[in-house]
Amino acid sequence: MVQIPDWVQDTIFYQIFPDRFAKSDRVPKPGNLEAWDSRPTVYGFKGGDLLGVTEHLDYLQELGITAIYFTPIFQSTANHRYHTHDYYRVDPILGGDAAFSELLQAARARNIRVIIDGVFNHASRGFYQFNHILENGAASPYVNWFNIRGYPLHAYEGKPVNYDAWWGIPALPKMNTNLRAVREFIFGVAEHWIRLGVNGWRLDVPAEIDDDSFWQEFRRRVKTANADSYIVGEIWHEAQRWLQGDQFDAVMNYQFTRACIGFFIGENTDESLTTNVGFQTYPPLDASGFAYTINHLLSLYDRAITNAQMNLLDSHDTARFISIAKGDQSALRLATLFQMTYPGAPSVYYADEIGMPGGKDPDCRRTFPWNSPGQWDTSLLQYFKDCIALRKRYAALRYGEFRFVYAEERTIAYLRSLDDQRFVVVINAGAETTVNIVIHPEFGLPEGTSLTCLADPKTLYLVRNGQLSVHIGKREGVVLMAQSQTPVKTP
């Protein structure tokens, strides 16, 4: 039986890129920081830190967030910190270990969990064991930690790299995970942070460690440290190999992202922002194509794993959804409604909820405009809050049965049901229309059932003559909740 932490399916994740979310006056900073409100660059630092996050936990709590996923926080010389120097030390620019400890304590007091990014396929030129080889060459006792093809190491541009490096980038030497000492080092890191109170790991490019036994042992060690820990891998494609219950609990569900772009944005997609990104988007999907794609995704894994998938619309590695949609806010609203009423764990990329745009990396990593509220779309923010609150209020919208009941042209409708809860969600990605949904006996909506529109409780819909008729506006979505199942006389 597949064992997944129960809390995940009830969770709303919020992804934070630490250098860009918020900064605190309590964290001393080095000089030469870029202006907070300037566009991000490849190498520049803005000075965001973990105490800045702590000081904005009330904001996240009001939004409805129950878990934070941080991109890397360990000591590094890159603003994104995927070039790890020290896996046992939080970056001092982020406030160091003390700031992280304070953040964990404050988050725990608000029932907000924290997962962190594990970059275990590759390290950096500043990683102690690799730096030892840079200084000592073949005499270093750590030469077997990496696959080296000659000395001295060609660790900078100018000569061909003579050691295994991720994508051939000299700054990212690949660790030799076949070596027991390396494996034990990584497993020790994983255990250490879990024991300190972290609630799980997001694993960077885990497919690069092409070894099931490595990830099986990783899982055993993490789950032994805390059986309730969450392990989610960055796999951009279908991930059956890793989701058998013996390696990861879930993956970042970029297949879900692709489907949402294909349907909710469709022909309006800015393809310049979706090429060479890590996934190939679908061609524009109509309702039936979207339903087929989603049903396929729901069939891939055990239901417990499906309910734990990290469902995202964008991330630090992609352009922002609203920019892919060429600024069409309706696409983001419809996709968010679907995300919040779909099985799995929704993940919101920081500042999406206020409509912040962003192109490809590094533009998708802009700073949160805390001091520029005029840049916030407060209506969109309220919409996010409402969708999140709706999901949190009703268990059926989190892990009830999911069934498409209508998919024609540009309109979909689906049933979410759990015990005596029944919801019909209708999302119209096209022009104003009326949909007539045939209600089959297995839907649990017998003749005469009345359904309330949750956005407008005065509006009622009735199952009559085996159908539910819903008039819906252009690019609009509604959630209908069954109120009464008392049979009534129909004309």
Select which of 117, 234, 286, 476 is catalytic.
234
The DSSP bridge pattern shows strands 113-118 and 200-203 to be parallel
- 67 vs 418: CA distance, rounded Å: 24
Query: Is 246 known to be catalytic?
Result: no
Q: List CB contacts of 433: < 8 A, sequence separation 6 or more.
A: 409, 410, 411, 471, 472
Reference 173, options 201, 136, 147, 142; nearest CA is 147
Select which of 19, 117, 204, 447 is catalytic.
204
Query: Is 234 known to be catalytic?
Result: yes
φ, ψ at 126 (rounded to 5°) = -90, -5
Q: Which residues are catalytic?
A: 204, 234
